[in-house]
Structures are given as C-alpha cells and as structure tokens.
Copies of this chain bind each other. A is one copy, B any other.
Amino acid sequence: MVGVPGEAQPALAAAASAALEAYSVATAEHDRAALAEVVGDGADGTPTMRIDVLVENAILNALSRHSVNVLTEETGWVDNGSALTLVMDPVDGSANAAAGVPLSAFSAAVAVDGSFTEALTVWLETGRSWWAKAGTPSPLRTTGRTSLPGAAVSLLRPHPANPGAASAWWEVARRAGRVRILSTSCLEGALVAQGATDAFADAATDTHRLVDLAASVVLAEAGGGAVRDVFGRPIGLDTDLTRRWSGVVAASPELADELASVLHDAYETGRTTPTGPGTPT
C-alpha cells in the first residue's frame, strides 16, 4: 500500500509520518554532498550522515508526545519506562538516500516486553509501505521457496578483503539463480516478505544491527518466511546497538536454514583455505 496504514500502532505511525516528511524536506533543501556529510558517530558505532540526523531528530520530536521507549541508530536507547519499545532505523540505506539512488526506507518494529509484535517499513522515495502485526491476518506472502539452488537472493555488498566473508558471498552467488545488491536491508527484507525475492542475507560480515533486522523479522514471519543469523545467535531486543548479526531473511524456514548453513560453512572454509574469491591476485 502507499502511505502509513491506519491500523498501525500510534507511535509507530507517528514516527513513519515524521520520517516521510523529514526525508522530503531534507532532500529538497540539501544537495548530495550536504546529505552525505558525516556529522558525528551514532550509538551503533558507525559514522552518522546529515540525512540520518535530520530524519531521526524529526522522528524523536514527533515521538515526544508518545510514551514509548526508543532504540534508534544515532541516539541509541531512550528509556521512557514503557513496556513498549520502537526499534527503529530512521533512514535504512543512508548511502543510497544521500547519493540519490532512490532506495531508502524508514523501518521500525514494536517490541512489547522484549517480543517483536508489529512492524512497518516505508520506502521513503515513494511512500509505499509494508506493515504487519503478529496475530493479525496479513496480505504479505513470501514465494514459499524452500531451497537455494536457482533462488533470487539479495546480498549485502561483498567484502573482498575478508577471506571468509568473500568465500561466503561467492558461494551464494554460485548457487543462486539471481543476485541483487540494493544496499537497503529493510527494503530488501520487505521484498522477501511480499514474495518479490526469495531471500536476503548478510554474507557473514556481521554488518547487521538490530535496527536493520527487527522489522524484517515481523514482516517475513507474517508472510510465511523466517529470519536467522549465520552464526546462530538469537535475534531479539537488546539495547546495546553495538551488537551485530549476519542476518538471513528468507521465504521459508527451510531456505533460511540452508542459506545460513551454506554461508557459515563457506565462511569457515574461506578463512582457512588460501585460494578462492578472497585471494589477492
């Protein structure tokens, strides 16, 4: 659908609306260099671009009227003593958004007493949205694919200097029928949930933060899919934003398990074997 769904939890809806408005103003008022300028370090330990700050500040301002806790990329953990926490990436795909590649998203999940119960991802350039609430019927439906050979898989970009991760990336490219790199984890997760692609994965680089995965957990599960970590770590509410995962979002639990296993095995092989995709030539 286009826009913020009316059934969404009020704080989640307010955050998404503020993000859409702030993104629109930021991209109209600033050029690419200004949007991409690094203006600090986020609570997640990564450099913060101006576009991230502009959108996150607008969201936090909108949320001041809502009594919820917030876990967000730049500010980190804001404890308001609520049972409800928004786990939020104000601008997923910041590098796309700053450069003018029209693939970035607001994405957030609602956690109630530690469990993810609802999620909303909104494509900032078009307003198109993906929403799901645990226990509520959803129109989302994955492709249902259960095995990797021939699958359509989105991946984070490869890291050739990391032999294990390079080997893992290449092994999936070898087995998949189609590989994409859209550089926007939350949109790529939403595309799995709606059945446009079969899977999305971080090929063992431990790049994913909770804010990159939380919404995809709810959306993918609503559509019949599953989310795993390549190294078997559980993905749950954690207020330490420096934690990392290598997330796998897939159309079925079987495919999620197979992808995680293929990535894990190829990572271990690549770390210890001197030939392969990561080898300098």
Q: Which residues of A contact B (CB under 8 A)?
A: 32, 95, 99-102, 125-126, 128, 152, 157-158, 160-161, 167, 170-171, 173-174, 178-183, 191, 194-197, 266, 269, 273, 275-277, 279, 281
Contact = CB atoms under 8 A, between A and B. Distances in A.
20 contacts: A32-B195, A32-B196, A100-B194, A101-B191, A102-B126, A157-B178, A157-B179, A160-B173, A160-B174, A161-B174, A171-B281, A179-B181, A180-B183, A181-B181, A181-B182, A266-B281, A269-B281, A275-B275, A275-B279, A275-B281
A281 B173 CA distance: 13
Nearest to A160: B174
Contact of A182 (B180, B275, B279): B180
Contacts of A279: 275-276
Given A100-B196, A126-B126, A196-B100, A273 B269 contact: no
A28 to B, nearest CB: 14
A51 B152 CA distance: 19
A150 to B, nearest CB: 13
6 closest A-B pairs by CB: A100-B196, A277-B277, A160-B174, A181-B181, A275-B275, A157-B179
A128 to B, nearest CB: 8
Contacts of A269: 281
A170 B158 CA distance: 9
A179 B173 CA distance: 14
B180 A157 contact: yes
A179 to B, nearest CB: 5
Contacts of A273: 281
Contact of A167 (B32, B157, B173, B281): B281
B152 A160 contact: no
Contacts of A128: 102
Nearest to A176: B157
Nearest to A280: B174
B170 A101 contact: no
Contacts of A179: 157-158, 181
A54 to B, nearest CB: 19
B181 A170 contact: no
B178 A95 contact: yes
Given A157-B180, A173-B158, A178-B157, A197 B281 contact: no
A187 to B, nearest CB: 9
A272 to B, nearest CB: 12
Contacts of A170: 158, 160, 170, 277
